[in-house]
Amino acid sequence: MRFDVITLFPDIFQVLQHGVTRRAMDSGSMQLHCWNPRDFAQGAYRRVDDRPFGGGPGMVMMAEPLFLCLQAIRSDRGQDRTQAPLWLFSPIGEPMKQPLVQDCSQGGGAVLLCGRYEGFDQRALDLVVDDEISLGDFVLAGGELAALCVLEAVVRLRPGALGNDASSVEESF
């Protein structure tokens, strides 16, 4: 299972080098690749944000670096959109519940899009996002914490991630 995370702060994901997620990565049950959209931005400052089209407060992440980053991910994976859906973390998305986690744990992974600022250029999202996932009715500063929750919840259901595979079957929540 492979996850690709699009984030301005890839170092946040170093926390996955511990515990259950580390065991899953060491065993090959999970692969994690972090991608910084700044690496795909143009200009000396590698800007990824701009004023929202149509006005409004704050800044939004630009479409072009996102498109170029996603193109690189698809090329690196050698897969198309149907084999690795792109999930955006948003308070208006589908609530993350155990059946969603179980379904994801049976698949080949996903591309996780972590927003910052006031979000993304909506025109870009309309073209690339397959699903929006929510941890609850609240707003975070970015999608990284939500992505970490999804990764840990999914990975712990993979064979070999826990000391005893029956542990995830017998637990309640």
Which has the closest alpha carbon to 32: 59, 7, 6, 2? 2
Cα–Cα distance, 106 to 83 (Å, whole number): 12
pLDDT band at 166 (very low <50, low <70, confident <90, very high): low
Q: Are 114 and 68 in contact (CB under 8 A)?
A: no
pTM for the structure as a whole: 0.86
Tell which wins on pLDDT, 161 or 72. Answer: 72
Radius of gyration of the chain (CA): 16
Q: In the predicted model, what is the mean pLDDT of residues 107-121?
A: 83
pLDDT at residue 142 in the model: 87
**Identity of residue 49:** D
